[in-house]
């Protein structure tokens, strides 16, 4: 019951979000009725979260918007969307219009692999003899793909061509469907899909045109709107303080690879590393070294990863198969890379290697 209630809440929130998107898109169309992008966005809003087949009313609303968007000469995105939206519709007239839109899109961009694969399958399904020209033109389009697959794409096209001559449309459909499936996952085809079905966020404007704001009331807002922030001391039982003074730079980083945060800091003429064994334990000074005066900042970097005495690799654990595998693995742990320190300042810089001794200290 709890899961069902959560689903109901989520569905209600989704419906409200889709309605808001539709309202906003329709307002955009009202303000820019001649903009094909506005109609395309409105169609996407109407088709959001639609089942297959979609709701007839939503489909009709989206159809009207895409028809308006397709009125622009050479408009490929809206025409492909019109095909994609109607290919599973129950109304044969809508399916036919979508297929016509696909043909128009293909004729406008015949080198687009996504349009090519869908148009070939559509022609084969309709037993359109003009598929012969599409098959012939496709041989030039697929040249970049020939070396990227073990399937002979040209042979598939040739077999489909021959099947058209033989009047065997079942074979034609099988061959072009196989061709479509082979090229569908290729990077070139996926790239072409993004050209005809871009993400809506690609059309986001940072600012509307000046004409858009004409007649709109100015919004009175306070630039000094404040956000309440409260600071309070940390619980010293969980976050004990570190004894330090004159700190000029500090980093929180796991220096000794024990999956716990260590603190590296620079105080006047000294570099210090503080660690603690447990989350609630007090901080202990694990290592320190003197620095020349004037080195008051630092960065961490693995400068010594490639070393004549060690293999260049990341920390590894060799687990032994015995009664106490965890203890054996811990004992066999060897670190082959270290975060080291580059201390720098007005007086120059110094490279400092951080090594772990045999006890992993």
Question: pLDDT tier at 27 (50, 70, 90 boundaries)?
Answer: very high
DSSP 316: B
Q: What is the pLDDT of residue 335?
A: 45
How many residues in the chain? Answer: 361
Q: Average pLDDT for residues 214-232, to the nearest whole number? A: 79
Checking if the pLDDT of 300 tops 50, the result is yes
According to the model, what pLDDT value does residue 22 have? Answer: 92
Report yes or no on 128 lying in a domain: yes
Degrees, nearest 5: CA angle 310-316-318: 110
Residues 71 and 143 both lie in one domain: yes
Tally the domains of the chain. 2
Q: Is the pLDDT of residue 49 over 90?
A: no
Residues 13 and 124 in one domain: yes
pLDDT confidence bin for 280, thresholds 50/70/90: low
233 falls within a domain: no
Residue 28 within any structural domain of the chain: yes
Asked if the structure places residue 23 within a domain, the reply is: yes
- Check pLDDT > 50 for residue 283: yes
User: Does a cis peptide bond (omega within 30 degrees of 0) precede residue 53?
Assistant: yes
Same domain for 254 and 193: no
CATH of the domain at 179: 1.25.40
Look up tokens 């000046």; give the residue. Answer: 210
Query: Per residue in 239-274, pLDDT tens?
Result: 788 888 999 999 998 887 777 888 999 999 999 999
Please tell me whether residues 253 and 199 are part of one structural domain: no
- The per-residue pLDDT for 325 is 55
Q: Which of 203, 220, 237 is the last residue of a domain?
A: 203
What is the extent of the structural domain holding 267? 249-302+338-352
Could you tell me if residue 345 is inside a domain? yes
Structure confidence at residue 75 (pLDDT) = 80
Question: In whole angstroms, how far apart are CA 29 and each of 26, 33, 39, 85, 299?
Answer: 5, 5, 6, 20, 54
Q: Going by DSSP bridges, is the β-strand pair 270-275/340-345 parallel, antiparallel, or unpaired?
A: unpaired
**Spatial contact of 121 and 176, defined as CB atoms under 8 Å apart:** yes
């Amino acid at each position: 019951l709890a899961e069902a209630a959560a689903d109901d809440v989520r569905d209600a929130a989704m419906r409200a979000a889709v309605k808001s998107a539709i309202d906003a898109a329709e307002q955009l169309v009202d303000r820019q009725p001649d903009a094909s992008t506005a109609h395309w966005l409105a169609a996407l809003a109407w088709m959001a979260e639609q089942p297959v087949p979609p709701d007839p009313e939503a489909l009709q609303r989206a159809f009207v918007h895409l028809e308006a968007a397709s009125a622009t000469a050479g408009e490929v995105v809206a025409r492909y969307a019109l095909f994609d939206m109607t290919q599973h519709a129950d109304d044969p007239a809508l399916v036919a219009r979508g297929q016509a839109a696909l043909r128009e899109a293909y004729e406008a961009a015949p080198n687009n692999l996504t349009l090519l694969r869908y148009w070939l399958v559509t022609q084969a399904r309709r037993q359109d003899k003009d598929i012969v020209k599409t098959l012939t033109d496709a041989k030039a389009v697929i040249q970049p793909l020939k070396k990227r697959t073990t399937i002979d794409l040209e042979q598939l096209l040739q077999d489909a061509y021959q099947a058209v001559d033989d009047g065997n449309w079942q074979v034609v459909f099988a061959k072009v469907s196989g061709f479509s499936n082979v090229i569908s996952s290729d990077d070139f085809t996926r790239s072409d899909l993004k050209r005809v079905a871009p993400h809506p966020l690609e059309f986001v404007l940072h600012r509307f045109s000046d004409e858009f704001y004409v007649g709109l009331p100015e919004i009175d807002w306070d630039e000094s709107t404040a956000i309440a922030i409260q600071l309070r001391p940390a619980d010293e039982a969980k976050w004990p303080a570190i004894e330090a003074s004159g700190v000029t730079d500090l980093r929180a980083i796991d220096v000794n690879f024990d999956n716990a945060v260590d603190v590296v800091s620079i105080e006047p003429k000294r570099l210090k590393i503080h660690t603690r064994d447990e989350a609630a334990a007090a901080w202990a000074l694990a290592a320190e070294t003197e620095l020349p005066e004037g080195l008051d900042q630092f960065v961490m970097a693995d400068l010594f990863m490639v070393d004549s005495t060690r293999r260049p690799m990341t920390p590894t654990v060799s687990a032994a198969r015995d009664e106490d595998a965890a203890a054996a693995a811990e004992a066999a742990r060897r670190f082959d890379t270290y975060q080291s320190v580059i201390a720098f300042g007005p007086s120059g810089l110094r490279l400092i290697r951080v090594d772990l001794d045999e006890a992993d200290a």
